[in-house]
Chain A
Amino acid sequence: VPVPVGVLRLPRGPDGCSRGFSPSSPRFQALLGGPATTTATQGARATLRQRYLRGLAAARGRPTRFCLRTGVRVDAVFGAADVEAVAFQVDALRTPLGVQAAALLRCADVLAYSFLL
């Protein structure tokens, strides 16, 4: 009797859609080649994204100030950002309870962040 393979059900992602991207988002529609997609739009999207990624690379390792909701401000060292803009990874996060060596800040909680070049 063949042993059935267990089916691994992954938990739902933080966005509620466990596929990791939202099928109704404009980016996914553009990927499908919907009616609104043109070469110019995709070209603009690519240029903007490339500049943004270079910006993230420049932020890495720099002391950053994050403005969270309800006036909360925290300082940390910028670590990384993920592809779908769900969270930021930071090092040396200064909190009232002490310095956290590494932490994740949810993008939904962050209003803005800034660093010096």
Chain B
Amino acid sequence: MNDWQRKSPLDWETYVNKMVKVAAIEKHEYEGWVLTVDPVSASIVLATFLENEKVSISVVLGHAVQEVEILKEGDDEMKQRLSCIFAPEEGKAYSPEELEKRKNDLKTWLETNHIPVTEQGESGRTLCVAGVLTIDPPYGPEECSSSNEIILSRVQGLIQGYLEKQQ
């Protein structure tokens, strides 16, 4: 384990949204905006914006990192741009009232089917099913997250069926 891998996650977080130069072993060098640092492998994910509107993503594995030098701080516009790179695509935009209705309809339907569901997060945006699965807006199968893949696939199937019946 090298010094970079030994850093704490709070340390790694300070590099996010900054332009850095990474010196790696075998004299490799990488430059780019830090999107994230993987806490498992300490790998640095860098984004470079190319001329043709494309983004080049480079990941430097943690074990290969020798030194990380901060070159620039990202401004709010850059932070916004970086946070959108991996964001799941917004299909249809819903208004806050529509989202609230979708959430409440789904919550009621789950409760009718005897599935324990609570509201979580700031302003109760996220639904939490049985304490192990969360559903973010706009409350479709793609917005379900869980560490248990069996429960995940079951609930995704249920929601898919529910949405199809609504149509």
Binding site for B on A (CB under 8 A): 26-27, 36, 40-42, 44-45, 47-49, 51-52, 54-55, 57-59, 67, 69-71, 83-85, 107-108, 110-117
Contacts and interface: CB of A to CB of B under 8 A. Distances in A.
A36 B59 contact: no
Interface in B1-60: 6, 8-10, 12-13, 16, 24-26, 28, 30, 35-41, 43, 45, 50, 54-60
Interface residues of B, dominant DSSP: mixed
Contacts of B28: 67, 111-112
Contact of B8 (A41, A55, A83, A113): A41
Interface residues of A, dominant DSSP: helix
A30 to B, nearest CB: 9
Contacts of A57: 86
B61 interface: yes
7 contacts: A36-B8, A45-B39, A54-B87, A55-B57, A55-B86, A85-B62, A107-B61
Interface in B73-101: 85-88
Given A111-B61, A112-B28, A115-B57, A47 B13 contact: yes
A84 B28 CA distance: 24
Given A111-B61, A117-B57, 9 more contacts: A40-B10, A48-B9, A48-B36, A52-B37, A55-B45, A55-B59, A69-B26, A70-B26, A115-B57
Interface residues of B, number: 37
A44 B85 contact: no
B125 interface: no
Contacts, number: 105
A52 B58 contact: no
B150 to A, nearest CB: 17
B1 to A, nearest CB: 9
A84 B6 CA distance: 16
Given A40-B10, A107-B61, A112 B30 contact: yes
Contacts of A70: 26
A71 B26 contact: yes
A41 B12 CA distance: 10
Contact of A114 (B13, B38, B59): B59
A51 B86 contact: yes
A8 B49 CA distance: 52
